[in-house]
Chain A
Amino acid sequence: GENVEQHPSTLSVQEGDSAVIKCTYSDSASNYFPWYKQELGKRPQLIIDIRSNVGEKKDQRIAVTLNKTAKHFSLHITETQPEDSAVYFCAAVPYGGSQGNLIFGKGTKLSVKP
């Protein structure tokens, strides 16, 4: 089945710097890759997603890139702010699955220091 690896597990940056989180997946048939942000004590919330027919997607300070050949995708956050501090999860929908069948990476704890 699908397996998603996520790196790094922790990331500390200065406010204003950029942050990059990388994920690899094993199932070449996976076709949907969302990113969720989970603040302490709160529910995961979708921040951006990308489908396999697109190489890059951007939403203000957040962007996601997908390399289907290498089976990896990355989250880029520019001009980080203290409120970006949270745990970020990447996920993939395996072949035959749906948005309700997400296989998650183990998360990256991002700390943005003021």
Chain B
Amino acid sequence: KAGVTQTPRYLIKTRGQQVTLSCSPISGHRSVSWYQQTPGQGLQFLFEYFSETQRNKGNFPGRFSGRQFSNSRSEMNVSTLELGDSALYLCASSLEHRTEAFFGQGTRLTVV
């Protein structure tokens, strides 16, 4: 079966702009989580959605937001982009809250 799919794979944006990233989970998976990966901070948890509801949120500013649709696809949005938002954004999906999380290939965001 198809894995976790993230689009786009690469993105270049200018400071002050906003961006929307998309994640399609493995078919049947209802939990979708987002992580930011940078060389300095490693993998940091952004938020988790389950059945269209945000279940947990990491320690990121309100410029970072997300949502989940009825088909479990998820989007995350970053408004007023800053240079420090340049990172690999990874999405992970799992069947239920106590099962393995599978990661997508990520979206590489560069803010210039």
A residues apposed to B, CB below 8 Å: 1, 32, 34, 36, 42-46, 49, 89, 91, 96-107
Q: How many residues of B contact A (CB 8 A)?
A: 29
25 contacts between A and B (CB under 8 A): A34-B100, A34-B101, A36-B103, A42-B105, A46-B100, A46-B101, A46-B102, A98-B56, A99-B31, A99-B97, A99-B98, A99-B100, A99-B101, A100-B50, A100-B55, A100-B56, A100-B97, A101-B33, A101-B56, A102-B92, A104-B35, A104-B44, A104-B45, A106-B41, A107-B43
Partner of B45, one of A32, A46, A103, A107: A103
Partner of B48, one of A32, A44, A100: A100
Chain B residues near A103: list those with CB within 8 A: 45
Is the Cβ of B104 less than 8 Å from the Cβ of A101? Answer: no
Closest Cβ of chain A: how far from B26's Cβ, in Å? 13
Total contacts A to B, CB within 8 angstroms? 74
CA distance A103 to B58 in the complex (A): 9
- B79-97 interface bits toward A, Cβ cutoff 8 Å, 1 = contact, 0 = none: 0000000000010111001
Interface assignment of B99: CB less than 8 Å from any CB of chain A: yes
Chain A residues near B92: list those with CB within 8 A: 100, 102
Interface assignment of B66: CB less than 8 Å from any CB of chain A: no
Closest Cβ of chain A: how far from B32's Cβ, in Å? 7
